[in-house]
Chain A
Amino acid sequence: MSRALHAEWTKQRTIAGPGWLLLGAITLTVALSATVATAVSYASTGSGQDLTKLSLTGIYIGQAIVAILAVQTMTGEYSTGMIHVTLTAMPRRHTMLAAKAAVLSALVLVAGTVAVLLSILLGRLILSGNGFTAAHGYQLLSLGHGPTLRAAVGSVLYLGLIALLSLGIAAAVRDSAIAIGIVLGLLYLFPIFAALATDPALRRHLQQIGPMTAGLAIQDTTNLHHLPIAPWAGLGVVAGWAAASLIAGGLLLRLRDA
């Protein structure tokens, strides 16, 4: 296994794509978070805003770049034919998939930590300048605050789980364009359907099963009793999605000719 890990790490390290994608994920996450923080002010929105969630809005776009990285980790080998070499050297396909998953999640967790810390830091600086101050009943964003720490750690874990979900789907469909279409469809369509559903029970169910709607409940720090699903339970739903996709991908990888 350690050789498999080393091989996968070498693949990620020696091509230009992954580095740029991780940098892109960090940049876009922080840029969207900072844009949203700049655009809201106490004067226009008043009280009741969830500052932690607002300053982590960038995760919505960052996860798309993480998904590209995860998908290409798998499909890149198919499009170049590298997969034949990989599987010749490492005939146990599950080991190969596990090694890819381990290296990928390590990379994404590191990049995610950087992106989340920068987003929170910028949110703290920008939002307090926009009137969200103690005088208006808002605390300064701080990781010392329990729910904010949970939101930050949870957002990093969420990115890691999205990477695993994408990896499993890519292993199953083997085409990067189709795989990314499925991943982003799963992520972005549930919230749209939920917001447009008129039936309250249906809306709640959609929010409970959608990987993004359930998973990002981890970012909420106010009005928790209004959430369709509890924060950690929501992250559990994403973990379920990731596990299911990895199992499906692993099975297909084993059964099919490469």
Chain B
Amino acid sequence: MSTTAASYRSSLPVGRDGFAQLLHAEWTKFRTVRGWVITAVAAALLTVLFAYLGTFHHENGGICVGANSASGTCQSYAHPSPPLGPGGEAVTDTYYFVHRTLAGDGSITVRVASLSGLIQAGNGNAVSVGDLGGAPGPLQPWAKAGLILAAGTKPGAAYASVMLTGADGVRMQYDYVHDTAGPAASARSPRWLRLTRSGATLTGYESADGRKWIRVGSAHLASLPQIVQAGLFVTSPQTAPDQQALVPGGSSKATGATATFGQPGLQGGWSPGGWTAGEVGDTGLYSTLSSVGSTRSGSGFTITGSGDIAPAVGVGDDDTPDLTGVFVGLIALIVLGAMFITGEYRRGLIQTTLAASPRRGRVLVAKAVVIAAVAFVAGGAAAAVSILLGDHLLRANGNYVYPVGTLTQLRVILGTGALVALAAVLALALGTALRRGAGAVTAAIVLIVLPYMLALYSALPAGLSRWLMRITPDAAFAVEQTLPQYHQVSYLYTPSEGFYPLAPGLGLAVLGAYTLGTMLVAHRVLRARDAAA
């Protein structure tokens, strides 16, 4: 008689061990630790709180109006708004213009015989009327003298111009943001310039001798009216602020340029009669010299101008909502990312985790997905609220806020979410590789926060700071840049002013590379090492 005993089988259905189950397990671990959820929410709230504190204090900003010549103090502060160009961007449109009316097609040709510079006297801080008269000084690289054809003399009007610059040769520029380089030319050697209109097409030419002409560039201005103002212009931009990192928007000086022109040669539908001379767009928003004007010299003109025709950069001091608070949230999420794995080692939970899911690489990936999703939501939501709140507060306090497109704002929000998500995963990977909370958190903060602090605050020279923002994970902060950097405007394009050396996507990719590299190391370590050790 033989009996066969059937071996015991559980009546429970066999559980599946797919990636979805793993994700669910990791999400449950995160969700059920109250301190972690509180930390994630606190990270978002702290980010917004610091954004609020940052913008709240902007109310006393604005530019000096009515400087008292005796004491150098301002009568009041104002928040004027710069004119908007045809593309809707903030622009500077201040220059000295000697012009007449042109109806329909035509051309103007002139010889620029010389170009020299003026600069505001004094140290640039306590401005007195005498200082703004200007004294002979270096010619600014972007001092401009040449021909311009504009829809009108209202600041922000559509235009096209061809010019000789202080140090950047002959250029064709139109509608503020567009700049085409012509042949290199020294401001010391005379130059011939020509600007022609044919319908909506404007073309600039230049010549060394007035006989052999080279086309510099052309512009298609569909919105240009039939009747325009055209003629000679001179302008010279204020100097870039001090290279001193601790003085954001520090003292810049007004400058001027004086150009002598030969007799303008006109063809086409020009109005009869004389030339009208006057300063365009001196709104007080941009520092200019007072000693502008024009005089006839023989059959030509000697014109002194001050200002710029270019995109507005760094006007006033309150221009974009503050995202500094992201650093506070970032540190909280780094701590969370590291603890998500080091906590398991500390409590021995890692042994259960790895027994339930022996494929260790997938455990690491599941953890990364969960912590990245949490950080992305916390960071993105905080950035969105910070931007909306900051924008509202700045406007409510009467500050000028630069126009920023919806797509750019969306990029900042999603980019900030991605930045903190990658940082949290970096901390998770460091925690996996080091298995020590303190070491992992320190390594992540030293990689992500220290370079930013060094670039902004320490005595490092500007060149070295820019390199830090290229090669360290901090390159990713480029996602927060909302205003474009223009090569034709001299400015302190530094992180403290909201400018980063890399493009947003590239910057994020640098952080992504650090995170991926560390994840690969963490994966190897997790697979190779005994979990109990």
Interface membership of B496, Cβ < 8 A: yes
Interface membership of A44, Cβ < 8 A: yes
A-B CB contact pairs (8 Å), 12 listed: A40-B464, A60-B450, A64-B446, A71-B438, A176-B437, A177-B437, A177-B441, A181-B331, A184-B449, A191-B456, A192-B324, A198-B317
Scoring A60, A179, A189, A202 by chain B CB atoms within 10 A of each residue's CB, the highest score goes to: A189
With contacts A177-B335, A177-B437, A178-B335 known, is A194 near B457, CB below 8 A? yes
Interface membership of A61, Cβ < 8 A: yes
Interface membership of A50, Cβ < 8 A: yes
Question: B442–A180 contact, CB under 8 A?
Answer: yes
Besides A176-B436, A197-B54, 8 other A-B contacts (C-beta < 8 A) = A61-B450, A64-B450, A176-B441, A177-B437, A179-B438, A180-B445, A188-B327, A202-B57
With contacts A189-B331, A193-B50, A198-B61 known, is A184 near B456, CB below 8 A? no
Return A200 CB to nearest CB of chain B, in Å: 9
Residues of A within 8 A of B (CB): 36, 39-40, 44-45, 49-50, 53-54, 57, 60-61, 64-65, 67-68, 71-72, 75, 79, 175-181, 184-185, 188-189, 191-199, 202-203, 213
Classify chain B's interface size: 35 or more
Q: Mask for B445-463, Cβ within 8 A of A = 1, else 0? A: 1100110111011111101
Question: B327–A192 contact, CB under 8 A?
Answer: yes
Complex Cα spacing A179 to B346, Å = 16
In the complex, which residues of chain B have a beta carbon less than 8 angstroms from the beta carbon of A213? 457
Question: A50–B459 contact, CB under 8 A?
Answer: yes
Return A68 CB to nearest CB of chain B, in Å: 5
Question: A180–B464 contact, CB under 8 A?
Answer: no
With contacts A177-B339, A177-B342, A180-B442 known, is A191 near B437, CB below 8 A? no
Question: A196–B453 contact, CB under 8 A?
Answer: no
Question: A199–B441 contact, CB under 8 A?
Answer: no
In the complex, which residues of chain A have a beta carbon less than 8 angstroms from the beta carbon of B317? 198
Question: B318–A198 contact, CB under 8 A?
Answer: yes
With contacts A180-B442, A188-B445 known, is A195 near B246, CB below 8 A? yes
Residues of B within 8 A of A (CB): 50, 54, 57-58, 60-61, 245-246, 248-249, 317-318, 322, 324, 327-328, 331-332, 334-335, 338-339, 342, 346, 436-442, 445-446, 449-450, 452-454, 456-461, 463-464, 496
Return A71 CB to nearest CB of chain B, in Å: 5
CB closest residue in chain A, given B39: A178
Question: A64–B245 contact, CB under 8 A?
Answer: no
With contacts A72-B438, A199-B60 known, is A191 near B450, CB below 8 A? no
Question: B464–A36 contact, CB under 8 A?
Answer: yes
Question: B438–A195 contact, CB under 8 A?
Answer: no
In the complex, which residues of chain B have a beta carbon less than 8 angstroms from the beta carbon of A36? 460, 464
Complex Cα spacing A248 to B322, Å = 33
Complex Cα spacing A189 to B332, Å = 12
Question: A181–B335 contact, CB under 8 A?
Answer: yes
Question: B496–A196 contact, CB under 8 A?
Answer: yes
CB closest residue in chain B, given A65: B442
Complex Cα spacing A189 to B47, Å = 12
Question: B438–A196 contact, CB under 8 A?
Answer: no
Complex Cα spacing A197 to B460, Å = 19
In the complex, which residues of chain B have a beta carbon less than 8 angstroms from the beta carbon of A71? 438
Question: A57–B460 contact, CB under 8 A?
Answer: yes
Complex Cα spacing A242 to B449, Å = 22
Question: A198–B437 contact, CB under 8 A?
Answer: no
CB closest residue in chain B, given A170: B438
In the complex, which residues of chain B have a beta carbon less than 8 angstroms from the beta carbon of A179? 438
Complex Cα spacing A61 to B60, Å = 36
In the complex, which residues of chain A have a beta carbon less than 8 angstroms from the beta carbon of B441? 176-177, 180-181, 184
Question: B445–A192 contact, CB under 8 A?
Answer: no
In the complex, which residues of chain A have a beta carbon less than 8 angstroms from the beta carbon of B60? 199
Question: A57–B459 contact, CB under 8 A?
Answer: yes
Question: A175–B457 contact, CB under 8 A?
Answer: no
Question: A68–B442 contact, CB under 8 A?
Answer: yes
7 A-B pairs with least C-beta separation:
A177-B437, A191-B457, A176-B438, A181-B335, A195-B456, A184-B445, A176-B437
CB closest residue in chain B, given A177: B437
Return B495 CB to nearest CB of chain A, in Å: 9
Scoring A40, A44, A185, A197 by chain B CB atoms within 10 A of each residue's CB, the highest score goes to: A185
Q: Of B328, B437, B450, B457, which is within 8 A of A180 by CB?
A: B437
Return A198 CB to nearest CB of chain B, in Å: 5
Question: B438–A197 contact, CB under 8 A?
Answer: no
Question: A79–B457 contact, CB under 8 A?
Answer: no
Complex Cα spacing A195 to B245, Å = 8
Complex Cα spacing A193 to B339, Å = 26
In the complex, which residues of chain A have a beta carbon less than 8 angstroms from the beta carbon of B332? 181
Question: B442–A64 contact, CB under 8 A?
Answer: yes
Question: B338–A60 contact, CB under 8 A?
Answer: no
Return A226 CB to nearest CB of chain B, in Å: 9
Complex Cα spacing A177 to B424, Å = 13
In the complex, which residues of chain B have a beta carbon less than 8 angstroms from the beta carbon of A57? 454, 458-460
In the complex, which residues of chain B have a beta carbon less than 8 angstroms from the beta carbon of A61? 446, 450
Q: Of B54, B338, B445, which is within 8 A of A196 by CB?
A: B54
CB closest residue in chain A, given B243: A45
Return A31 CB to nearest CB of chain B, in Å: 13
Q: Of A178, A185, A198, which is within 8 A of B58 by CB?
A: A198
Complex Cα spacing A54 to B464, Å = 12
In the complex, which residues of chain B have a beta carbon less than 8 angstroms from the beta carbon of A195? 245-246, 248, 456-457, 496
In the complex, which residues of chain A have a beta carbon less than 8 angstroms from the beta carbon of B322? 196
In the complex, which residues of chain A have a beta carbon less than 8 angstroms from the beta carbon of B334? 181
Question: A49–B459 contact, CB under 8 A?
Answer: yes
In the complex, which residues of chain A have a beta carbon less than 8 angstroms from the beta carbon of B436? 176
Complex Cα spacing A175 to B342, Å = 11
CB closest residue in chain B, given A213: B457
In the complex, which residues of chain A have a beta carbon less than 8 angstroms from the beta carbon of B445? 64, 180-181, 184, 188
Return B211 CB to nearest CB of chain A, in Å: 44
Complex Cα spacing A201 to B339, Å = 38
Question: B54–A175 contact, CB under 8 A?
Answer: no
In the complex, which residues of chain A have a beta carbon less than 8 angstroms from the beta carbon of B61? 198-199
Q: Of B50, B346, B454, B463, which is within 8 A of A79 by CB?
A: B346
Complex Cα spacing A78 to B125, Å = 57
CB closest residue in chain B, given A216: B458
CB closest residue in chain A, given B61: A198
Return B236 CB to nearest CB of chain A, in Å: 25
CB closest residue in chain B, given A202: B57
Return B300 CB to nearest CB of chain A, in Å: 41
In the complex, which residues of chain A have a beta carbon less than 8 angstroms from the beta carbon of B438? 68, 71-72, 75, 176-177, 179-180
Complex Cα spacing A199 to B324, Å = 14
